[in-house]
Amino acid sequence: MNLQSVKSRFGIVGNSPGLERALATAVRVSPADITVLVRGESGTGKEALPKIIHHHSARKHGTYIAVNCGAIPEGTIDSELFGHEKGSFTGAHEARKGYFEEADGGTIFLDEVGELPMATQARLLRVLETGEYLRVGSSKVRKTDVRVVAATNLDFDKAMVAGRFREDLYYRLNQVPLMLPPLRDRGDDIHLLFRKFTGDFSERHHMPPIRLGPEAVELLQRYPWPGNVRQLKNIAEQISAIETDREVNADGLLDYLPELPRRDLATLPKEGRDGAGTGMNEREILYKLLFEMKSDLNDLKSLVLKMLQDGNLDAGSSEDQSLVNRVFGEREGTDILRLPERAGAENTWSDREAQEGVVEDERFAESTEVEESLSLLDSERELISRALVKHGNRRKQAAAELGISERTLYRKIKEFGLK
């Protein structure tokens, strides 16, 4: 079977090895009447493989039913899958066939099979092993001849250890495993899919197609796409609908890409932990740590100041004074924030001491924050500039060394006016 004809028939775009391997395996196992388990992250397009398997099997003239197990409430899932008898529960005004009965002689696709309740998993296992099932509210054993293709993004190892998925059912479903790669591992397929989605949108709404500049294409391919193909399609259609200029550059594309959480800046690449391969010195590493600590330090200062103003720190405690000194430092050999001594058994400030202390605190906090902010901004600008020079303005490599996303690097370049 020619894979290109399979792609054309089912609207599949891409030539990555992982995708083609999954498609080829799906076509090869289609004639064999065995259970297939499709694995992959959410949004990778797992629903296409069961259709391919059904179409290339001897059951292609039979019924094909797709069931989203995660969208059916736990109280009705058994009735939906296996049917029920009249009066078996409140609202059951007549008998009803389930999906396994309707799909007899055909194929049933159980999407999000990992969401099935444990009791339903036991019923499913019986159908897979013997073809037998019971309608809800009936004691009559029924038979069905259905091929099951299941799909999930569940981590089965964790689910089985936690007792949320039956181990015997997993092995029964996993007769033939198919793995769809995430979009971030599909290289040039990302741009091909983007062009398809924007082209379809433009044709549907009679608009000129969107074109990406070279840097925008590179950014599109480097973005990790946590939502996979579904996320790419949404963004492609957003750009097609909103952009008046049909030529989109990297800066324009950035407006549509959600910024991901920053990686831990203190974690160095493996090849650079011994100082080799990254060229980073201790000063640069310290800058990275300072960027991460900046907000935490300011939050801590605000917390201590509030505690002092509210009188929640023990004036007679050497630990409290030590904490204040560690947070705010010492100036000219005296405490920046002097905690008052106890007056007898009570811990109170006089009005004058409290007022002077608060004013001093606010002045110091304000001046310290300004100086720290300016210093960190200068250091950040210098570090980004050095990384860009070192890597010949190749932003991907510079972002990797700085430990930030490319989106963040683009934003910082614009913020600091770097070229």
pLDDT at 375: 58
pLDDT score of 280: 47
> What distance, in Å, lies between the first and last C-alpha atoms of the chain?
52
Rg of the chain (C-alpha set):
31
207-259 tens-digit pLDDT:
999 999 999 999 999 999 999 999 999 999 999 999 988 899 998 998 899 87
- Please, are residues 101 and 109 in contact by the beta-carbon 8 Å criterion? no
Phi/psi at 148 (5° precision): -110, 125
Q: What is the pLDDT of residue 373?
A: 52
pLDDT of residue 326: 56
Domain locations in the chain as residue ranges: 3-181, 184-254, 272-416
Per-residue pLDDT at 165: 95
pLDDT score, position 297: 63
Strand (E) or helix (H) holding 293: helix 282-310
Single-letter code of the amino acid located at 377: L
Give the residues of the chain that fall short of pLDDT 50.
Answer: 262-280, 315, 330-349, 353-354
Architecture of domain 184-254: Orthogonal Bundle (1.10)
The answer as to CATH 3.40.50.300 being correct for domain 3-181 is yes
At 185 the pLDDT is 94
